[in-house]
Structure 1
Amino acid sequence: MNILMTGGTGFVGRNLIKSLIAKDHHIYILTRTPDKYTNNEKTTFISYHYPVEELPVIHAVINLAGESLFGYWSKSKKKAILDSRIETTEKILDIMKKLDKKPDVFISCSAVGLYGISEDLIFTEATANPGGDFLARVTLEWEKTAKQAETMGIRTILTRFGVILGKEGSLPLMSLPVKMFAGGKIGNGEQWISWIHIEDVVNLIQFCLFNKQMEGPVNVTSPNPKRNKDFTKTLAKVLKRPYWITAPSPLIRLAIGEMSQLIRKGQYVLPKKAEDNNFQFAYPNLEEALREIVSKKT
């Protein structure tokens, strides 16, 4: 299978590509700087201006690109967060429109931030009303843009990522206070963390890729979300560090601004569509997932 991908050099992208090429697929990685990378037998780096007519038949497109959420959410940062997602998706749509043979499937990453924030509601793919905060608005616009692929007759999947755990991503930042013997809950600790191990992310994306019954929104989260206080307590246990300090929520907000909602607030999200279609999670439980990650050398 020939797969066209954006975001192939990021955390999820690199892990996904490694798995796909092991299964003998060829990945065409769209990047603004293809000259920085070296092509090989299974990966080809191309620019967004690459002549579409020179591409082979593309069987699938995966869109993982987007400005990082980390950093102070100034007006310009928030604009970059939104614009990077919309503009990259529009470029992908334009490429697919120009292809003589349309891809069988388009997977565009999204986020559980669409659901908004709650300590008591349970969200699934059937949840109809999005949240009203900044991340929810960004994700809604992102998904609206990606869904235009459906008008081309392409099976379209919106993978709503939760907090992805691995050697990269959020976990190193979440682990730092614990490693420094300052681990504890954030605020009241009741906010939910809908997490997932990177291996399950990679496997679920591929499950969506090859199973025709998968379409529309798909929550990419573990079936066992944890409250912040329980997540941090488990992390401290795995790292063999104390769990005792409470970080005041207003102080965190003061220190890092609006971005603090990523750790001060959350949502309980269940991967109902994955479970209904018999996807098997390798790491459904948090302690097992964390122990596997911590035990890895690289």
Structure 2
Amino acid sequence: MNILISGGTGFVGKSLTSSLLEDNHHVYILTRSPDNFTNKEKTTFISYDYPAEKLPAIHAVINLAGESLFGYWTKSKKESILNSRINTTKKMVELMKKLHKKPEVFISGSAVGFYGTSEDLIYTEATAQAGQDFLSKVSVEWEKTAKRAEDLGVRTVFTRFGVILGNEGALPYMALPVKMFAGGKIGNGEQWMSWVHVEDAVKLIQFCIANKNISGPVNVTAPHPKRNKDFTKVLAKVLKRPHWFTTPSLFIYTALGEMSLLIRKGQYVLPQKAMDYNFQFDYPYLEEALRDALLKKL
């Protein structure tokens, strides 16, 4: 297949591209600076204004682009987080409009932040009510923009990612205090962490491409979320470090501002749709996921 990806040079995008190439697909990667990359036999870098008529028949379009959530959330940072997702998604829908033959599926990134935060509720794709915080509002607008692809007759999937475990992303930052013998829970440690190994995230994206009955939201999380206090305890065990510190929530909020929401709060999110379609996770449990993500990269 010919597959078009935005965000193909990011953390998940690089892993997804490698997996697609292993399956002998041709990957077209949208980037603002295609001249900075070298095309290969099955990898072609193109700009966002690349003429649609010059593209071959595209079977699937995947949108993973967006400003990083890391960094102090100033007004301009928040605008960039939102606008980067909305504007890129709009461009991709416009590109699909111009394609003579429409793709079979549009996979558009989203986040479990859609649901808001809770220490008690369990969220699945059947949860229609979005949260009220900043990340919820971003996810709602992101998905609403992507949904325009349905008007083109394109099957559309919103992949709501949890915390992705791998050698990039959030995990190296989470592991650092543990490695420095300062690991422990954040606040009361009761906040849920809905996580997924990057290889399962990639595998589930490809599963959604292949399964023509899947559309709408898909939670890209492992089936066994952990509370922060348990997550950090397993992390310390894997790294063979003590787990004795508690970092006060107020300290995290003072240091990181509104972005601390990512650490202080959480949600219990089940990948119900993936389980209903009998998707097989390679890393359903946290300890084996962390051992692979951390130790084999050393």
Query: TM-score if structure 1 supplies the norm length?
Result: 0.99
Q: Distance in 2 between matches of 1:7 and 1:164?
A: 15
Deviates more, 1:122-131 or 1:288-297: 288-297
Letter in structure 1 aligned against 2:33 = T
SS of equivalent residue, structure 1 residue 76:
helix
Q: Report the alpha carbon displacement of residue 203 of structure 1 after superposing the two structures with TM.
A: 0.4
**TM-superposition CA deviations, 1:56-81 (whole Å, max 9, x none):** 01111000000000000000000000
Residue 288 of structure 2 is matched in structure 1 by: 288
| Cα deviation code 1:95-115 (max 9, x no counterpart) | 000011000000000000000
CA distance in 1 between counterparts of 2:277 and 2:180 reads 42
Give the aligned partner of residue 218 of structure 1.
218
Which runs of 5 or more structure 2 residues have no equivalent in the other structure?
A: none
Describe the SS at the equivalent of 1:246: strand
Matches within 5 A, 1:142-181: 142-181=142-181
The DSSP-based 3-state class of the residue aligned with 1:167 is coil
Task: Give distance in 2, aligned partners of 1:224 and 1:2.
Answer: 34
Taking only the aligned residue pairs, the percentage that are identical comes to 72
Query: Unpaired runs of 5+ in structure 1?
Result: none
Q: SS in structure 2 opposite 1:185? A: strand
- Per-residue Cα deviation, 1:205-245 (whole angstroms, up to 9, x for no partner): 00001111111000000000000000000000000000000
- How many Å apart are 1:25 and its aligned residue? 0.3
1:179-194 aligned at under 5 Å gives the runs 179-194=179-194
1:181 Cα deviation from its structure 2 partner:
0.3
Q: Does 1:261 align with 2:277?
A: no
CA deviation map 1:166-193 (0-9, x unaligned): 0111100000110010000000000000
Secondary structure in structure 2 of the residue aligned to 1:131: coil
User: 1:113-165, CA deviations, whole angstroms, 9 ceiling, x for partnerless residues?
Assistant: 00001000000000010000000000000000000100111000000000000
Residue identity opposite 1:139 in structure 2:
S
Per-residue deviation, 1:296: 1.5
Match of 2:106 in 1: 106
- Structure 2 residue matching 1:156: 3-state secondary structure: strand
Residue identity opposite 1:12 in structure 2: V
Deviation, 1:49, is 1.1
Question: Which amino acid is 2:113 matched to?
Answer: G
Aligned to 2:233: 233
Instruction: Give the structure 2 partner of residue 116 of structure 1.
Output: 116
Structure 1 outlier segments of 4+, above 2 Å: none
- Give 1:74's aligned residue: 74
Task: Report the Cα distance in structure 1 between the residues aligned to 2:30 and 2:73, rounded to whole angstroms.
Answer: 27
Instruction: Say if 2:167 and 2:297, in contact at 8 Å, map to a contact too.
Output: no
C-alpha distance in 1, partners of 2:297/2:127? 39
Report the count of equivalent residues.
298
Residues in 1 aligned to 2:271 and 2:181: alpha-carbon distance in whole angstroms: 33
| Structure 1 equivalent of residue 270 of structure 2 | 270
The residue aligned with 2:205 is 205
| 1:4-50 CA-partner distances (Å, limit 9, x unpaired) | 11000000000000000110100110000000000000100000111
Conserved in 1, the CA contact under 8 Å of 2:116 and 2:131?
yes
* Residues 1:34 and 2:42 are matched in the alignment: no
* Deviation of the 1:292 alpha carbon: 1.2
For 1:104 and 1:86, the matched residues in 2 are separated by 22
CA–CA distance in structure 1, aligned partners of residues 51 and 133 of structure 2: 39
State the distance in 2 between where 1:97 and 1:258 align. Answer: 37
Match of 2:88 in 1: 88
- The alpha carbon displacement at 1:294 in A equals 2.0
Partner SS state of residue 273, structure 1: helix
2:279 corresponds to 1:279: yes
Query: Which amino acid counterpart does residue 205 of structure 1 have in structure 2?
Result: I
How far apart are residue 295 of structure 1 and its match? 2.3
